[in-house]
Structure 1
C-alpha cells in the first residue's frame, strides 16, 4: 500500500541506452522517500523479428551496481523465445533499482501495442499512466540527427516512439530525458520546459 503523500513514478522501460538514462535520472533525481516506481514495458508486435538479445550481445556485462547496471544487462536467454528475453531485461532493470535504492518499491507492468508505430505505443503508455494514476511519467528521449540539424518542431523520438505526443497529452507531469554521456548531465523536456539542462 502506498503511504499518504507518496507518488507513483513510471519509467518507460526499453532495452535502449535512452531508457537506461531515463531510469538513472529517475533514481538519482526524481524518486524520493515513500515513492513507488513502476517500470512499464510496451511490447512491440514485431519484436520477434528483432529479438532484444541482439542488442545485449554487443554490450559487456560488468555487474556494476546502481542505475548504471541497466546499461550492462545480462545476455538474453535462448529459452522461451522473446518472452524469456523480456523477463531477463525487466528483471535486470528491477535489480538495478534495488541496487540504487534498496527500500524502493518497484513493480513491473508489461502491455502490448497493437501496431508497431510510435503513435500506438504512445497511446498505450498514456493509457497505462492514466489507469495506474501515475503522478510522474519519465521517458527516454533521443534527438535524431535530422532534428538536430533542421530544428524540426517534432522534437525527439525513442526508436520510433513519439515522445512529443506523450508530453503534450499526458494527464500527469511528463518528463522526457536525454542523458548526455556518462557524467554529462541530462537534457529534460516537459510541457513547461524545453531542453532544460540538469547536471549529473
Structure 2
C-alpha cells in the first residue's frame, strides 16, 4: 500500500475564518469531552438538542480557549472535484481554528490490471502496474499540494499535513481518520442524480459511507444552489441542513 505523509509548519498572519460564539453551557460540555467515542456521544447529544448551531459551538470551543492540549485534528478529503474544493473552503471558514491541525487526505485507487497467466505476461503487467502506481502517486501529490497552497493563501495560521494513500476510498478514509484520531472529518458531496436516487437503496454514496462508519464527527458538504446560495450539511444527526453562511 502506498502511504506517504508531508507536513507544513505553522505560518503567521491573521485568521480570515469566522469564530462562532459559544455559550457557558456548551463550553462546560466540551471540558468533559474526550477524543473518540466519548466525544462522539457528547456531540450527538448536543446536536440533537441544539441542531447545527449547537454542534458547531462545540466544534470551535476546543481550540478557542488557547490551550494547545485541546487543539483538534480536522481531516478534509481532497480530490479533483469542485465539491472537494468547496468542502475545504467551507471547513477553513467554519470548522478549522488557528491551533488545529488540518490533514488533507487524498486516496488513490489501486491500479487494477489483469495479470497474464504466462510468466512473461505477468512480468510485463506487474511492471505496468508499478508504472501506473508511480504516475498516480506523483499526480496525487501534485493535487494535494494545490490544496495546500489554497490553505496557505486563505489560512496561513493553520498547520497542514498532507496524506496520500492508496486503497478503496471509503474504508481507507474511515481507517485513516481512526488511525490519526481525527476529531472532525469533512468531505464534499455531489448532488445526487436521478439514477442514483433510484439505486440509493442498494448502495450508500461515499459521503454516506463515511458518515455511517466513522468514529469521529463526519460532515458532508455541498452547495445548496446558485440561486438560493448557502450549503447543505449532512451528518449522523442532521440531514440536508441548510446553512446560509
TM-score, normalised to structure 2's length? 0.58
Runs of 4+ in 1 over 6 A off after TM superposition: none
Indicate yes or no: 2:220 matched with 1:176. yes
Give the 3-state SS of the residue equivalent to 1:81 in structure 2.
helix
Contact 2:223–2:231, Cα closer than 8 Å, also in 1: yes
Report the CA distance shift for 1:168/1:140 in structure 2 as closer, same or farther (over 3 A): same
Q: Tell me the CA shift for residue 154 of structure 1.
A: 6.9
Q: Tell me the CA shift for residue 15 of structure 1.
A: 0.9
Aligned to 1:84: 138
Q: CA RMSD in A?
A: 2.7
- Equivalent in 155, 169, 173 of residue 101 of structure 1: 155
1:65-107 deviations in whole A, cap 9, x for unaligned? xxxxxxxxxxxxxxx7333322221111001001111110000
Contact 2:108–2:136, Cα closer than 8 Å, also in 1: no
Identify, as 1 or 2, the structure richer in helix. 2
1:24-173 matches, within 5 Å, as: 24-46=89-111, 81-113=135-167, 120-146=168-194, 152=200, 157=205, 162-173=206-217
Query: Aligned equivalents of 1:22 and 1:47: distance in 2?
Result: 29
- Who wins on radius of gyration, i.e. which is larger? 2
Contact 2:224–2:242, Cα closer than 8 Å, also in 1: no
Contact 1:10–1:38, Cα closer than 8 Å, also in 2: yes
Query: Aligned equivalents of 1:126 and 1:172: distance in 2?
Result: 9
Q: Tell me the CA shift for residue 199 of structure 1.
A: 1.6
Long gaps (5+) in structure 1: 49-79, 114-119
- Aligned residue pairs total 159
Report the CA distance shift for 1:30/1:153 in structure 2 as closer, same or farther (over 3 A): farther
Query: Aligned equivalents of 1:84 and 1:110: distance in 2?
Result: 10
Aligned to 2:231: 186
Report the CA distance shift for 1:156/1:165 in structure 2 as closer, same or farther (over 3 A): closer
Long gaps (5+) in structure 2: 1-8, 10-66, 114-133
Q: Which has the higher contact order (CA 8 A, sep 6+)?
A: 2
Give the 3-state SS of the residue equivalent to 1:4 in structure 2.
helix
Query: Aligned equivalents of 1:189 and 1:164: distance in 2?
Result: 9
TM-score, normalised to structure 1's length? 0.70
Query: Aligned equivalents of 2:88 and 2:150: distance in 1?
Result: 9
Aligned to 2:118: none
